C-alpha cells in the first residue's frame, strides 16, 4: 500500500533541548542554591523519568513536579522547590527550552507540499502544542497524539492505535520516524507501521532496521509522488 502519511516522534526527532535537561535544570537550580553538577542532574533525570510511567491525563503538571522532586531528592534538594519548579517547568513551554533541528521546517514543508498527511506521536504533555507553535511547525500537522491525552505511552500499543485513528489511514500506509529503537521503531512496526529510525549520532549502527541520520533522508526515501511506495 502506498505511503499516505508520515508520523513523527517529537523531541529528538523534530526538535531538541537547548542543551541537556541536566544543563537547563542545573542553570535554573543554581539560582536556588543547588550544588549538584549538570551531569549528576542529567543522570538522575534519565533514571527518574524512565521509571515514572505514562504522563497523567488528569494533572500532567503534578506528574512532572513529582519527577523533578525525585530528581533533586537524589542529587540534593534545593530551597524553595515549588518556585524553582514553576520556573523550570515554564522554560520547557516554548523555544526557550527547545530548538528545531536545522532541516525540520524545510522537510515538513516539502512533505506537506506532496499532499501527505503529517502527524506527531510523542510521550509529551500538552506543552508540545505551545512548543511547536513557538517553533513555527504546528500548522504542518493534521494530528497530534500525546501520552498525557491518551493515557498511554510508547511503546504501549494503545498510543500507536490512537495515532493511526487520528490520521485516518491504515497503519501500512503510514511511515513512522522516531529516534528510539524500542519505543518508536520496534513498537511502531509491531503496530503495523512502516518504521524508520532517525539515528543522528550513529548510536544504533548495528541495528537491523532502516536508519537515517537526518530528516532530509525521509523526503529522499519517498518518491516525488504523494503515492509513494511503502518503505521496507
Kindly report the CATH number that applies to the domain delimited by 5-16+98-221.
Answer: 3.40.50.1000
Q: Considering only CA atoms, which of 70, 35, 34 is closest in space to residue 50?
A: 70
- Do domains 5-16+98-221 and 19-91 share one topology? The answer is no
Q: Over its length of 232 residues, how does the chain's per-residue pLDDT go in tens digits?
A: 799 999 999 999 999 999 999 999 999 999 999 999 999 999 999 999 988 877 777 789 999 999 999 999 999 999 899 999 999 999 999 999 999 999 999 999 999 999 999 999 999 999 999 999 999 999 999 999 999 899 899 999 999 999 999 999 999 999 999 999 999 999 999 999 999 999 999 888 777 899 999 999 999 998 644 444 445 4
Delimit the domains of the chain by residue range. 5-16+98-221, 19-91
Give the H or E element holding residue 158. Answer: helix 157-167
Give the H or E element holding residue 73. Answer: helix 60-75
Structure pTM? 0.89
Could you give the CA distance from residue 13 to residue 215 in angstroms, rounded to a whole number? 8
What is the number of alpha carbons within 13 Å of residue 59 lying toward its C-beta? 5
**CATH number, domain 19-91, options 1.10.150.720, 3.40.50.720, 3.40.50.300, 1.10.3720.10:** 1.10.150.720
pLDDT at res. 227: 46
**Cell matching residue 44:** 538522575
Amino acid at each position: 500500500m502506498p505511503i499516505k502519511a508520515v508520523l513523527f516522534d517529537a523531541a529528538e526527532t523534530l526538535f531538541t533541548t537547548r542543551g541537556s535537561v541536566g544543563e537547563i535544570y542545573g542553570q535554573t537550580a543554581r539560582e536556588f542554591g543547588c550544588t549538584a553538577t549538570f551531569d549528576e542532574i542529567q543522570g538522575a533525570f534519565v533514571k527518574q523519568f524512565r521509571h515514572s510511567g505514562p504522563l497523567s491525563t488528569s494533572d500532567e503538571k503534578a506528574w512532572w513536579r513529582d519527577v523533578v522532586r525525585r530528581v533533586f531528592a537524589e542529587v540534593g534538594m534545593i530551597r524553595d522547590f515549588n518556585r524553582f519548579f514553576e520556573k523550570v517547568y515554564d522554560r520547557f513551554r516554548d523555544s526557550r527550552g527547545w530548538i528545531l533541528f536545522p532541516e525540520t521546517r524545510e522537510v515538513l514543508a516539502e512533505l506537506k507540499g506532496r499532499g501527505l498527511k503529517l502527524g506527531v506521536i510523542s510521550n509529551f504533555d500538552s506543552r508540545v502544542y505551545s512548543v511547536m507553535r513557538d517553533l513555527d511547525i504546528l500548522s504542518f500537522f493534521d494530528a497530534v497524539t500525546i501520552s498525557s491525552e491518551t493515557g498511554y505511552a510508547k511503546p504501549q500499543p494503545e498510543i500507536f492505535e490512537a495515532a493511526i485513528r487520528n490520521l485516518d489511514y491504515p497503519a501500512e500506509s503510514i511511515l513512522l520516524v522516531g529516534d528510539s529503537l524500542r519505543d518508536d521503531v520496534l513498537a511502531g512496526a509491531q503496530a503495523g507501521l512502516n518504521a524508520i529510525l532517525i539515528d543522528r549520532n550513529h548510536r544504533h549502527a548495528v541495528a537491523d532496521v532502516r536508519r537515517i541520520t537526518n530528516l532530509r533522508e525521509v523526503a529522499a526515501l519517498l518518491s516525488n509522488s504523494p503515492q509513494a511506495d511503502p518503505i521496507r
